[in-house]
Structure 1
Amino acid sequence: MISFALLLFIPLSLALKYLVGAGPIWLFLTGVVAVAILADWVRRATEQLAERAGSAVGGLLNVSFGSIAELVLALFVLAHGEADVVKAQITGSIIGTSLLGLGLAMLVGGLWRERQSFNRANTGLLSTLLILVVVALLLPAMFDIQAHTGMANTDAVDERLSIGASIVLLGLYGANLIFTLVTHRGVFAGDEPSGNSAWSLARSLTVLIVGTIFIAAESELVSDAVEATATLLQVSQAFLGVIVLALVGTSADLFAAVAFARQDRMSIVFSICIGSAIQMALVVAPILVLASWAIGHPMNLVFNPLELFAIAGAAFIVRAISADGETNWFEGMLLIGVYLLFGLAFYFVGA
């Protein structure tokens, strides 16, 4: 009932925009809540379709639609020429799921248990891919620093390098899907889908399609209000991107991770949290780079030092915590604490 009631934020936000002419803060707040709720409904629809399709096709469905809210929201922000805000959103999504989401899940799941265990093989692969993300994002930044010493048209070179890197990253993610879903499916398989979905096929497809359409509408509303909201709240657009917009897109993953942690299903928690961060870096970011050319607002993969430090820090901390195959509530507190430290740093950017 609560999830149905929260859907009222959709007509409320649209009414504030087109009937009342409310200020940007109200449009931004109601819009981000609406996107978060819609993202959860799209996630549910995707899970129901995956339940019918089996693990291989289900994995592809989750890749295709798991980050739809983040992708659509970022596209509309990018269409406004706010490439730096989009890169902040990518950073926030990576650290939000790998630090805050995983930390909350460990904390909630470990409060009444001494320890929780998970599949080390799957988590080891995921954490290795997260390290790859760090290397892939460090390369354009290091190249940019080096190129500035002897190249006149550095921006053009950065964009070409970013396009090439994006194609490589998408290829690596495709290889990861083949590895985990086809050639080594038995090693990484979890619970097989029962084939008995609680939703009908028609309902799942309807929720997926309608949810995506409304996400697009709400994302346009939010992107229109980002700059004015940042000015009125006296915070940087980087903070809104890293914390607010990123958490909006990943909220469904965060709630799902906590729910599975309470059921002591930590292997799924790691797959959701780290998998979402990897998907953001290896799928969503490259797609945004390629799409940015089509919409006339080119974006590169040159992140600023603070963003790179946050992503690298999250990757190495997750790698260390996941090495022993066990978690506890205190490790969750550590992850949340690191996320809060990064949040403070981004809050004071431009202050």
Structure 2
Amino acid sequence: MSSEPNIAGSNNGLEKVLSSSPEPIETSPPTSHHGNALHHSRTLSSSSSSSSSSRITERPPPFSRKLTRALFIRPADTRGPAPGHLESIKSALTYSWVNILFVFNPIAWALHYTHQTDGAVFAMALLGVIPLAGMLGHGTETIALYTGDALGGLINASLGNATEFIIAILLLVKCEIRVVQASLLGGLLSNLLLVTGMAFIVGGVRFSQQQFQQTAAQLNTSLLTLAVIALVIPTCFAFAIEQASGEETERDIILEMSRGSALILIFIYASYMVFQLYSHSYLYNPDNDILNDVRSSASSVQSAPPASVQPAPIVSGNELAPPPVKRTQSLVSTFGSRAFLGQTSKRGSLPAQFNRVDEKDEEKRQRDRQRRQDPEAAVIAQGDTSSEKELETPEMNLTVAISVLIAATGLTYLTAEALTDSLEGIGQTGSVSTEWLGLILLAIVGNAAEHVTAVFVAYRNKIDLALAVSVGSCIQISLFVIPLLVLIGWIANKPLSLLFDPLEVVTLFLSVLLVRFATEDGRTHYMSGILLFGTYVLIAFSFWFYPQNGTSAGNLFSEC
């Protein structure tokens, strides 16, 4: 009769030890039979599970958040003072060491307009695009600091892949349909395999394991799977009706299908923006304490049972020794938002920024320990977190940031024009496939800024942010850039469709599948990065031998 209060008391004491101990400890419950020990473990697990689920259900309905002015104009207490014009111009010119490569732009223009060899023009323009892509991102992210999270996210979502978009538009005007498709799909493969793989390797070499938020990662891979489906269907359809109809009829059907699918994909991308920036923005907020509590509780529930109760040696007869209960501190990483969600990633000045982030993380871990030790005090202190927010100081004022964005766009157009013209000349020589250049070289150069960002943040143990940069860019290309280009081609009477080369589509499908398997458990290490990086090298090597004309289905729209 009196054993029930004792068991409850021991449960409360044990829960306190399990939740507050940062170091590996051992605690032994009162001597009991094996059945009582198992009941004790189940009680602890169920109480933790119910606690975490109750936190999740505490969130309000997704669309109950009011559309206030703060969503579009950032409150003054979260942004530091804007610098002057001279400081802003200095920041624009010196924010990254990559700006050294800017000298290749005038060289590329001079070689192009004096009609020099295409190989030299292509090499110079390829190097010159890299700092321009970084400058576009720097200007866009600075402008986002002067707006609210929602408007800043929309600005960055629209201009996040401006370099790839400008190159694709120029190629589309020249009716290089196959090169346009190869460069876009190459951007997807580069972000998925090369950028993500290098981030996993760099982070995995420094840290044994890195954890990331599974909900956002699983949603991202699901969106990529949808994008692959949108590319697979026209490919299968083309093979199905190839013998049943003429070539002109087949072209018309696939174009109509592609344009309708493009509208659907853009609608899905818009819905994703609402989900990410408005209804479920807390999933992408690195300072969300509720989400971190839920993740910490879920990690405790998942890791406690296998490590808590160990087989106990038999002492005498059927009597079992009390099972030792062990608890180790779980590794919980802070969830980082995408670079384009109104939060600056300052490409090129990342080390200083993420040093500040590491200091904030240490303070955050201390607050989390206090919250676990004294939940009531944490609830009281939760309302006073606004004073702890670090001011985000822009590196440029708004006028200079807009001017930099406009200037970088114009310069990118000039360099991209030289790049695409030389690419056409290289293709005519037959020395190397233009599809391979678009699939590999253009994709690597266009994603150079994302590559540097992802590697730096992974090195700082921000693997969530690294995934958001790489996989998030893939989502933008597949669900927004490609469908938008299909619609622009429709307006310009250019036959750009969702019918890609079958081998490229299969390669993309297998790459998405591999990334999904590599991220499904919410943990990563350097071996996962080696797998992704090795797969990208294998694809690049294989496509080097791919014939220039590809397959008949892939060349259905090769000419305007």
| Residue type of the alignment partner of 2:108 | S
1:338 aligns with 2:535: yes
1:123 aligns with 2:217: yes
SS in 2 for 1:8: helix
How far off its partner does 1:5 sit? Answer: 2.2
Q: Which residue of structure 2 lines up, in the alignment, with residue 284 of structure 1?
A: 481
| Residue type of the alignment partner of 1:235 | V
Paired residues for 1:118-267 under 5 Å: 118-152=212-246, 153-190=249-286, 193=343, 194-232=391-429, 234-267=431-464
**Number of residues of Structure 1 aligned to a counterpart in Structure 2:** 350
User: Structure 2: any 5+ residue segments left out of the alignment?
Assistant: 1-93, 288-341, 344-390, 549-560
**Is the CA contact 2:235–2:499 (under 8 Å) kept in the aligned structure 1?**
yes
Equivalent residue in structure 2 for 1:113, among 185, 190, 207:
207
1: CA distance between counterparts of 2:515 and 2:473? Answer: 13
2: CA distance between counterparts of 1:139 and 1:4? Answer: 42
1:6 aligns with 2:101: yes
| Residue type of the alignment partner of 1:15 | A
How far off its partner does 1:53 sit? Answer: 2.0
Q: Which residue of structure 2 lines up, in the alignment, with residue 62 of structure 1?
A: 156
- The range that moved more, 132-141 or 294-303, is 294-303
Equivalent residue in structure 2 for 1:316, among 494, 509, 513:
513
SS in 2 for 1:48: helix
- The range that moved more, 123-132 or 225-234, is 225-234
Greater length-normalized contact order (CA 8 Å, ≥ 6 residues apart): 1
Q: Deviations for 1:180-210, whole angstroms, at most 9, x for unmatched residues?
A: 1111112232358444212211221111111
Q: Which residue of structure 2 lines up, in the alignment, with residue 90 of structure 1?
A: 184
**Is the CA contact 2:231–2:505 (under 8 Å) kept in the aligned structure 1?**
yes
Identity %: 30
| Residue type of the alignment partner of 1:201 | L
How far off its partner does 1:237 sit? Answer: 1.3
Q: Deviations for 1:281-340, whole angstroms, at most 9, x for unmatched residues?
A: 111111111111333322111011210111101111111111111111111111000001
Please report the TM-score for the alignment, with normalisation by the length of structure 1: 0.96
- The range that moved more, 227-236 or 42-51, is 227-236
Q: Which residue of structure 1 lines up, in the alignment, with residue 121 of structure 2?
A: 27
How far off its partner does 1:261 sit? Answer: 0.9
1: CA distance between counterparts of 2:100 and 2:283? Answer: 41
| Residue type of the alignment partner of 1:174 | A
**Is the CA contact 1:230–1:240 (under 8 Å) kept in the aligned structure 2?**
no
SS in 2 for 1:146: helix
Q: Deviations for 1:196-246, whole angstroms, at most 9, x for unmatched residues?
A: 212211221111111111111111111111132245472211101100111
1: CA distance between counterparts of 2:152 and 2:171? Answer: 29
1: CA distance between counterparts of 2:178 and 2:99? Answer: 34
SS in 1 for 2:245: coil
Please report the TM-score for the alignment, with normalisation by the length of structure 2: 0.61
1: CA distance between counterparts of 2:395 and 2:197? Answer: 30
| Residue type of the alignment partner of 1:123 | A
- The range that moved more, 192-201 or 153-162, is 192-201
| Residue type of the alignment partner of 1:300 | S
| Residue type of the alignment partner of 1:8 | V
User: Structure 1: any 5+ residue segments left out of the alignment?
Assistant: none
Paired residues for 1:66-85 under 5 Å: 66-85=160-179
Q: Deviations for 1:23-43, whole angstroms, at most 9, x for unmatched residues?
A: 111111111211222011111
2: CA distance between counterparts of 1:346 and 1:228? Answer: 20
SS in 2 for 1:264: coil
Flag the structure with larger Rg: 2
**Is the CA contact 2:139–2:404 (under 8 Å) kept in the aligned structure 1?**
yes
Q: Superposition RMSD on alpha carbons, in Å?
A: 1.6
